Structure 1
Amino acid sequence: MPSSYRLVRMLWLKTTMQLRTDSLRKLCQVSRHSSGPPAQSVTPAPFTSDRRATSRHRHVPLHTLPLLHPSRLHRSAPCLHLCRQASTTGGAGWYEGVADSIPVHVTEQLLTWVNQATGLPWWATIVCTTFALRTAITLPLGAYQAVVVAKVEGLQPEIAELAKRLHYEISVRAKEKNWTDKKCRYQFKKNLKRIVSELYVRDNCHPFKASVLIWVQLPMWVCLSLALRNLSLGLSEATTALQGELTVGGALWFSDLTLPDSTWIVPISLGLVNLLITEIFALQRREASKVQKYVTHFIRGISVLMVPLAATVPSSMALYWLSSSCVGLGHNLLLRSPRLRRLCHIPPMRSDSDTPYRDIASSLVAKYIK
């Protein structure tokens, strides 16, 4: 019986030692990938069937023996610390996530390529890139937006005529079927919505298509802004080398493009240009609705808030915002030209004029000066 007991105990100890050895081997493999020195393998003591050796170590349970030496555990601590630090920094905010996205990095490469291909200073690179992108992308979309808006305005007389006929037919049907006023209003709105949708499909001028310009221009504005921010702050190894070029790539009073404009000349100019664009759009609407008036006031508030914001960001970003607004103002005025509107096949509108620029200047003088 004692020999059987020793045999069972020996088998149990051998199995336990084998499991501990496998676990230790996995831990050593993990430690090789850490920043600290690699953990050395620990070979268990040879198992022996000697009764005296077994009895000598019987008072020390196997599960209480450490798998690694305390010094080894201490050396592997930096690996665990780095892993925890990486896991905590991985949950960055959405702003940093967008700034580190692929479109922003592609925009950084585009700006770097333009600067190296043209040999221009960085301030001229920003201005020329802004002009090229807005002319190649947003100007055609602006012309398409003008076509859609003109078609929608041209459909208003036809919609008004169909609404009158629909109102008459519903009144006749209401007398036949004894409809209530609520039922009549419901049928009128339902059928009028269907008729207007059919007209939009017929002329291919759904009002949602007029918002394509915003959905393209806004992401482009965000990508260029964040790309210039990354280049100015040198947040990565690739942008660190370019940060030195931006420190001397400015002109006039903003010689360092990585610092905010302390004179506030660029931010104030940005606010004035944005307000001018807003007022020109407001003058185009002769009979604005309440919603349009609220939207105009909201855009005016955003234009004013952009001034202190542009004074806190690097000058490269503020210069891009000013360049983009100036190019947008030029495109808006260009799309008022009767010759260009005929060239782009933009249907005539009630607000069209043979002398659009003279009319805009006289309207601004009459509204704000006299």
Structure 2
Amino acid sequence: MYALQAGSRCVSSRPHQRLRGAFVRPVNAVRTLSVFQEVTSSLVSLHEISGLPWLALVPLITFGLRTAFTLPLSVWQRKRIVKQQELRKVVQATTPVVKLRLAASTQANSKSAKAFEEEEGNVATTLQKPSLSPDQITLLALKETRSRQKKMFGESKVQLWKNALLPLVQIPLWVSVSMGLRELTKQRLVDSNLTHANPLQNIDSLDYVSRISSLDLSLPLDGLPILAPLLLGTLALLNVEHNGRVMTTTTSETMGIKLAPNPSSKVSQSMQSILNVSRLSCIFFMGVSSQAPLLLSAYWISSQLYSLVQNLLLDWLWPYQR
């Protein structure tokens, strides 16, 4: 009997011991990344120091982080994209010239070869250069255009690889704050910076502030479950449609000249595919937000609102035209 008790004490005192090939883990042992824990701790500290309610603090944090980290990169990227588009127009104008030069060179070589054959009595020569086909001329012209474009981009310091810097900063920032808020809302979260009403009081007699103070921010909004998904989906869809319209706007359209689009072109098909995937992601995002905590949905909504205002401001200051 004593041996059984001693064995049970030994097992209970060492929860990570292997029992018959199995690994016993404590119930409360949950792996979490320290980065997300630091984000959660920072959010709690800001909430305690500022004294602001969560539904006001989270949008302010969103605007502050986006202004400090992503707005300078967005301005830099928009200026760079506009410069790239200006240089691309110059480079694309050289493609027909290169094609004409290659075609003229091929025609001159063929004429000289015929003249040589007539003089030598149709004797084959190994020094004759093979003539270029139209497909080969097009391919060589594209290679020349790309090499000139790369050279011009390098001279102007607007290389294409710099366009990846903004997503490399924006995506980790969005994921870190989202996961930090997700860690914060794993338990019941009621705003402590608001005055709480009497729990025995009828909810219909409460004012607006008292109703907000009684909300559990770790759960979706039960009173209006469609409100957060509707706001988030509307803002996300506005961003997608606005960016799609900007990317397809040409210089002639801004001057009042409407051109018939070519839906069968590769550029048009690629753009439509990207827009369709973005629209479907907005619908998926709405479904996720319907089950997400209210505080996390508030962060997503404020982030989409900031993106919309930022895009409108950038289009007004540095318009993009194809």
One fold, TM greater than 0.5? yes
Inter-partner Cα distance in structure 1 for 2:297 and 2:236: 13
Q: Indicate yes or no: 2:97 matched with 1:165.
A: yes
Residues in 1 aligned to 2:192 and 2:18: alpha-carbon distance in whole angstroms: 36
Q: Deviations along 1:34-81, whole A, 9 cap, x unmatched?
A: xxxxxxxxxxxxxxxxxxxxxxxxxxxxxxxxxx96654454233565
**Are positions 1:271 and 2:233 aligned together?**
yes
* Contact 2:62 2:302 (C-alpha < 8 Å) held by counterparts: yes
Going from structure 1 to structure 2, the CA distance change for 1:103 and 1:69 (only over 3 Å counts) comes to closer
What secondary structure, in the 3-state scheme, does the structure 1 residue paired with 2:84 have? Answer: helix
Q: What one-letter code is carried by the residue in structure 2 that aligns with 1:167?
A: K
**Cα 1:178–1:143 shift into 2, 3 Å:** same
* Alpha-carbon distance in 1 for matches of 2:218, 2:95: 59
Match of 1:135 in 2: 67
Letter in 2 for 1:216: V
Counterparts of 1:185 and 1:102 in 2: how far apart (Å)?
Answer: 55
Aligned residue in 2 for 1:31: none
Mark the CA change 1:84 to 1:248 in structure 2 (over 3 Å): closer, same or farther: farther
Aligned position for 2:272: 293
How many residues of Structure 1 are paired with residues of Structure 2 in the alignment?
261
Structure 1 or 2, whichever has the larger Rg, is 1
User: Pick from 201, 206, 217: which aligns with 2:154?
Assistant: 201
How does 1:233-312 map onto structure 2 within 5 Å? 233-234=186-187, 243-246=188-191, 255-262=215-222, 263=224, 264-284=226-246, 285-286=248-249, 289-312=268-291
- AA of the residue aligned to 2:290: A
The yes-or-no answer on 1:188 pairing with 2:141 is: yes
Structure 1 stretch displaced more, 290-299 or 277-286: 277-286
Q: CA deviation at 1:275?
A: 0.8
Contact 2:103 2:137 (8 Å CA) reproduced: yes
SS in 2 for 1:335: helix
Distance 1:135 1:224 in 2: 15
1:313 corresponds to which of 277, 292, 296 = 292
TM-score (norm 1): 0.62
Among the aligned pairs, what percent are the same residue? 22
**Aligned amino acid, residue 177 of structure 2:** L
Q: In the aligned structure 1, how far is the partner of 2:275 from the partner of 2:313?
A: 21
Given residue 297 of structure 2, which amino acid in structure 1 is its aligned partner?
A
Change (3 A) 1:247 1:299: farther
- Where does residue 307 of structure 2 map in the other structure? 328
- For 1:290, the aligned partner's letter is Q
Deviation at 1:84, TM superposition (A): 4.2
TM-score, reference length from structure 2: 0.70
| CA displacement at 1:183 relative to structure 2 | 4.7
Bigger relative contact order, structure 1 or 2 (CA pairs below 8 A, ≥6 apart): 2
Displacement of 1:349 = 4.6
State how far apart, in whole Å, the 1-side matches of 2:23 and 2:192 are.
34
- After superposition, the CA RMSD in angstroms is 3.1
Q: What amino acid maps onto 2:90 in structure 1?
A: E
Aligned to 1:178: 130
Sort the Cα spacing of 1:89 and 1:125 in 2 relative to 1 into closer, same or farther, 3 A.
farther
Q: Which runs of 5+ in 1 are unaligned?
A: 1-67, 91-95, 235-242, 352-370
Pair 171,203 (structure 1): closer, same or farther in 2 beyond 3 Å: same
Q: Is the 8 A contact 2:219 2:293 kept in 1?
A: yes
State the alpha-carbon separation in 2 of the partners of residues 194 and 227 from structure 1. 45
Q: Which region of structure 1 is more displaced relative to structure 2, 163-172 or 250-259?
A: 250-259
| 2:218 maps to amino acid | T
Structure with a larger share of its residues in helix = 1
Contact persistence 1:275–1:303 (CA under 8 A): yes
